[in-house]
Amino acid sequence: MFTLQSRQGTARRGRLETVHGRVETPAFMNVATAAAIKGAVSADDLTHIGCQVALCNTYHLHLRPGEQVVEAMGGLRTFMGWPGPTLTDSGGFQVFSLAKLRRIEEQGVTFASHIDGRRIFMGPEQSMQIQAALGSTIAMAFDECVENPSPRDYVLASCARTTRWAERSRAELDRQNAQRGAGQLLFGINQGGTYADIRVDHMRRLAELPFDGYAIGGLAVGEPAEVMYEIIEAVEPHMPQALPRYLMGVGTPDNLLEAVRRGVDLFDCVMPSRNARHGHLHTRAGVINLNNEKYATDRDPIEPTCACPTCRRYSRGYLRHLFKAGELLAMRLSVLHNLWFYNQLMAEIRQAIEQGDFEDYYRRHVQVLSRRI
Amino acid sequence: MFTLQSRQGTARRGRLETVHGRVETPAFMNVATAAAIKGAVSADDLTHIGCQVALCNTYHLHLRPGEQVVEAMGGLRTFMGWPGPTLTDSGGFQVFSLAKLRRIEEQGVTFASHIDGRRIFMGPEQSMQIQAALGSTIAMAFDECVENPSPRDYVLASCARTTRWAERSRAELDRQNAQRGAGQLLFGINQGGTYADIRVDHMRRLAELPFDGYAIGGLAVGEPAEVMYEIIEAVEPHMPQALPRYLMGVGTPDNLLEAVRRGVDLFDCVMPSRNARHGHLHTRAGVINLNNEKYATDRDPIEPTCACPTCRRYSRGYLRHLFKAGELLAMRLSVLHNLWFYNQLMAEIRQAIEQGDFEDYYRRHVQVLSRRI
């Protein structure tokens, strides 16, 4: 059950109650692709860095270890040792970005595994069956994510099919929930590339289906940030106010601030963990590059005011050494910091909306947080 | 200051008090080569897995980041965030095993860095200066570690030089301690290959020098385990009773039991962490291989009775998945378990000696712990 606690302009402070725990929104969901955070971060670490939702990828888990294994192990949360809510994507995005030799038909997509070339078919029914077996808190409808820009005709046809897939996703998850006595939530996904009118039409169609939340997909896949913000502004008025909104795969700290300001509640992105693994660390003053020689004997933590597990104990100089020496610990400590930073940013955004200070918070941070210093 | 608490036969229960904390012996020192445990394990993790001493490699730290950097960062313990005692080796072993193009002369060894080929000279004085700058609790004398077997004539000449290097190591560390107002401890290293008479002669010469402890080096480098045990038995009566004894680079759990039984107090080995990174996990029943298909849906922890951070939360099935998926988290969780296992083994050995049960403990475990099951 989603409830709005307070608003400031279009920005929303909400609360999503699930059978696996509460999610205070706006929230950043931490990406645990194959039921593990890249960089040797474990589920018990997530509880120490402010994570509310762990997001796993259906495509990856279907290929390895297979949803039957996860189900036999007690479902995703038991499998990975994470007690809180989880979200699985539909597999669609990876089918279109990672897999090879794909063929799209009305029924679904045939593709070759990027691991072993094995031919796999996935349509809305298969995606729902896999996600139901994984036992995530929130499942996502099966959709096609098109590149930006794509030809208008293609996007129109793709969106119509994604709508039909959304209907089939809803029907199949209803069957799965009934069979399993489960209450897995399902979010629909808006598509339409960079065509505002197609986006709006598609959103109106989706809103007629009984989803538990709505996502905007197919953004941050090549288009300028300004175009992304325009699309959010166009679509948002047509998203049900009473349900959570999720902007998929986004983004930089300033992307998050801009999108919260435009009414988005949920986010996920590999950027903070990927940045961290390359030595790019988030601070209040911008993103620092720990590979820089100037940090070699720097005894300060990444950010002196930060209370994350890394900043409480380790210096920039030590972390730089770990990167230079190729120690895996470099990645772990850096990922812990960057995820903490993102989760902490969302906590501050929530507080700012509650206190009516969000516009001020936005202005003080939006120009600063994402710059490289 | 080292004090013997109790003995059972030749096995010793001791306590080493250092300026950086107490070490209850027998103890296994956890290897943090470049000021980090391989497998994304950090200094704060060490405090949760029973580690008493972190061991770092002088050769690696000299090459990268350089001892000047570590010194500028406040010394090894501050640098890596480990509050307890540390031990640095002399660099000798790595010079002879990792470096290329080495030339040994009376003054020391010229070698090429395995990282960038840079020519480096290291003799006893350089090794002591580097270890003093690193600021370890215990430094090791500079020695030559010969292969087993090596020709008797070579070993004789090498041992004589290692004795002269031991004298120079002692003299240089005295100078360093005086200059720095430091109380860094220094252990001498017995060599002599597999020749018991050379070993005994060398040990007698070393015992005349005022070291704070004595190590047996140059074992577990090619000779059968039985030969290693015979050498320990030959040398041990000539090691000062009142000082700690350290068997370098050893070994399997049964090696540790056999060596404790022959009067050794301290150990170090990369084996538990290296085994862990390959999916070989230590249990009371022997070493299991998590890559085995039979663990795919095994919901038990590595060892059901184990209280390590990994076994408290994660299953064999999950760990196997992490290995198969190439997730770094596999290594971290496995290394935590294996190091806990080794540290816990030593804690049980200490208790057994205190209680006069060591022979019984030895008999129950020595045939079992190291077998592959």
Residue that has been written with the tokens 């394990």 in this structure: B41
A165 with A217: CB under 8 angstroms?
Answer: no
pLDDT tens for A269-282 read 999 999 999 999 99
Is residue A41 less than 8 Å (CB to CB) from chain B?
A: yes
The whole-number pLDDT of residue B255 equals 98
Give the single-character DSSP code of A277: H
Is residue A208 less than 8 Å (CB to CB) from chain B?
A: no
Q: Do A313 and B81 touch (CB under 8 A)?
A: yes
Q: Do B34 and A325 touch (CB under 8 A)?
A: yes
**Contacts B81 to A, Cβ<8 Å:** 313-314, 318
Q: Do B332 and A42 touch (CB under 8 A)?
A: yes
Is residue A329 less than 8 Å (CB to CB) from chain B?
A: yes
- Please state whether the peptide bond connecting residue B149 to the residue before it is cis, i.e. omega within 30 degrees of 0: yes
Which residues lie below 8 Å from residue B171, measured CB to CB, with a gap of 6+?
A: none
What is the rounded distance in angstroms from the CA atom of residue B216 to the CA atom of residue B159? 13
Is residue A51 less than 8 Å (CB to CB) from chain B?
A: no
In order, the DSSP letters of B119-163 are EEEE-HHHHHHHHHHHT-SEEE-------SS--HHHHHHHHHHHH
The whole-number pLDDT of residue A93 equals 86
Residue of chain A with shortest Cα separation from B79: A318
- The answer to whether A265 is a known catalytic residue is no
**Contacts A315 to B, Cβ<8 Å:** 73, 79
**Nearest by Cα to A48 from A340, A342, A265, A356:** A340
Nearest to B328 among A39, A72, A333 (CB): A39
Nearest to B313 among A81, A325, A329 (CB): A81
**Nearest by Cα to A253 from A236, A230, A237, A269:** A269
B322 with A43: CB under 8 angstroms?
Answer: no
**Contact pairs from chain A to chain B, CB under 8 Å:** 120
Q: Please report, in tens digits, the pLDDT of each residue of chain B (373 residues total).
A: 999 999 999 999 999 999 999 999 999 999 999 999 999 999 999 999 999 999 999 999 999 999 999 999 999 999 999 999 999 999 988 888 877 778 999 999 999 998 998 999 999 999 999 999 999 999 999 999 998 999 999 999 999 999 999 999 999 999 999 999 999 999 999 999 999 999 999 999 999 999 999 999 999 998 999 999 999 999 999 999 999 999 999 999 999 999 999 999 999 999 999 999 999 999 999 999 999 999 999 999 999 999 999 999 999 999 999 999 999 999 999 999 999 999 999 999 999 999 999 999 999 999 999 999 9
Q: Do A329 and B40 touch (CB under 8 A)?
A: yes
pLDDT tens for A158-181 read 999 999 999 999 999 999 999 999
| Residues, chain B | 373
**Contacts A81 to B, Cβ<8 Å:** 313-314, 318
Token pair for residue A355?
Answer: 């206190």
Residue of chain B with shortest Cα separation from A76: B318
Shortest CA gap B307–chain A (Å): 15
What is the rounded distance in angstroms from the CA atom of residue A275 to the CA atom of residue A35? 20
- Please state whether the peptide bond connecting residue B224 to the residue before it is cis, i.e. omega within 30 degrees of 0: no
Domain with CATH 3.20.20.105 in chain A: 2-269
For residue A221, give the 3-state DSSP assignment.
Answer: coil
pLDDT tens for A289-312 read 999 999 999 999 999 999 999 999
Shortest CA gap A327–chain B (Å): 7
- The answer to whether B89 is a known catalytic residue is yes
B162 with B202: CB under 8 angstroms?
Answer: yes
- B366 exposure class (CB count in 10 Å sphere: 0-12, 13-18, 19+): middle
The whole-number pLDDT of residue A322 equals 98
E strand or H helix at A228, and its extent? helix A225-235
Is residue B117 less than 8 Å (CB to CB) from chain A?
A: no
Shortest CA gap B296–chain A (Å): 7
Shortest CA gap A318–chain B (Å): 6
Shortest CA gap B239–chain A (Å): 37
How far does CA A60 lie from the centroid of its chain?
15
**Contacts B332 to A, Cβ<8 Å:** 40, 42, 328, 332
Shortest CA gap B237–chain A (Å): 41
Residues in a beta bridge with B287: B282, B372
What is the rounded distance in angstroms from the CA atom of residue B256 to the CA atom of residue B267? 8
Is residue A115 less than 8 Å (CB to CB) from chain B?
A: no
Nearest to A36 among B37, B73, B329 (CB): B329
The whole-number pLDDT of residue A242 equals 98
Is residue A157 less than 8 Å (CB to CB) from chain B?
A: no
Report ipTM (2 d.p.): 0.96
The whole-number pLDDT of residue A98 equals 79
How far does CA A154 lie from the centroid of its chain?
26
pLDDT tens for A60-118 read 999 999 999 999 999 999 999 999 999 999 998 888 887 777 899 999 999 999 899 89
Whether the predicted pLDDT of A187 surpasses 90 = yes
Token pair for residue A36?
Answer: 């593990």
Helix, strand, coil abundance in chain A, percent, nearest 5? 40, 20, 40
Which residues lie below 8 Å from residue B174, measured CB to CB, with a gap of 6+?
A: none
The whole-number pLDDT of residue B243 equals 98
CA dihedral for B341, B342, B345, B350, sign (positive or negative)? negative
Is residue B37 less than 8 Å (CB to CB) from chain A?
A: yes
Q: B45, B89, B143, B212: which is the annotated catalytic residue?
A: B89
The whole-number pLDDT of residue A26 equals 98
What is the rounded distance in angstroms from the CA atom of residue B214 to the CA atom of residue B226? 21
* Residue spans of beta strands (DSSP E) within B32-191: 54-56, 86-88, 100-104, 109-112, 119-122, 138-140, 185-190
What is the rounded distance in angstroms from the CA atom of residue A33 to the CA atom of residue B109? 49
B199 with B214: CB under 8 angstroms?
Answer: no
Q: Is the pTM of this model over 0.90?
A: yes
Is residue B297 less than 8 Å (CB to CB) from chain A?
A: yes
Shortest CA gap B319–chain A (Å): 9
What is the rounded distance in angstroms from the CA atom of residue B369 to the CA atom of residue B371? 6
Q: Which of A63, A318, A334 to mutate to test the interface with B (most CBs of B within 10 A)?
A: A318
Whether the predicted pLDDT of A233 surpasses 90 = yes
Cα of first residue to Cα of last residue in chain B, in angstroms, is 42
B128 φψ region: left (φ > 0), alpha (ψ -120 to 50), beta (else): alpha
| Residues 332-361, chain B, touching A (beta carbon < 8 A) | 332-333
Residues in a beta bridge with A23: A16
* Residue spans of beta strands (DSSP E) within chain B: 2-8, 11-18, 21-25, 27-31, 54-56, 86-88, 100-104, 109-112, 119-122, 138-140, 185-190, 213-216, 245-247, 266-268, 280-283, 286-289
Is residue A149 less than 8 Å (CB to CB) from chain B?
A: no
In order, the DSSP letters of A112-129 are E-TTT--EEEE-HHHHHH
Is residue A120 less than 8 Å (CB to CB) from chain B?
A: no
B89 with B55: CB under 8 angstroms?
Answer: yes
Residue that has been written with the tokens 């660390």 in this structure: A281
**Contacts A273 to B, Cβ<8 Å:** none
In chain A, what is the greatest distance between 2 CA atoms, to the nearest angstrom? 60
Residues in a beta bridge with B2: B16
Is residue A114 less than 8 Å (CB to CB) from chain B?
A: no
- Please state whether the peptide bond connecting residue A26 to the residue before it is cis, i.e. omega within 30 degrees of 0: yes
The confidence band for A232, taking pLDDT boundaries of 50, 70 and 90, is very high
Let me know the angle formed at the C-alpha of A343 by A337 and A349, rounded to the nearest 5 degrees. 130
CA dihedral for B1, B5, B9, B11, sign (positive or negative)? negative
What is the rounded distance in angstroms from the CA atom of residue A28 to the CA atom of residue A344? 9
E strand or H helix at A86, and its extent? strand A86-88
**Contacts B69 to A, Cβ<8 Å:** 296-297, 317, 321
Q: Do A329 and B36 touch (CB under 8 A)?
A: yes
Residues in a beta bridge with B21: B18
Residue A306's identity, in one-letter code, is C
What is the rounded distance in angstroms from the CA atom of residue B95 to the CA atom of residue B121? 10
Q: Could you tell me the fold of the domain covering B2-269?
A: TIM Barrel (3.20.20)
Is residue A100 less than 8 Å (CB to CB) from chain B?
A: no
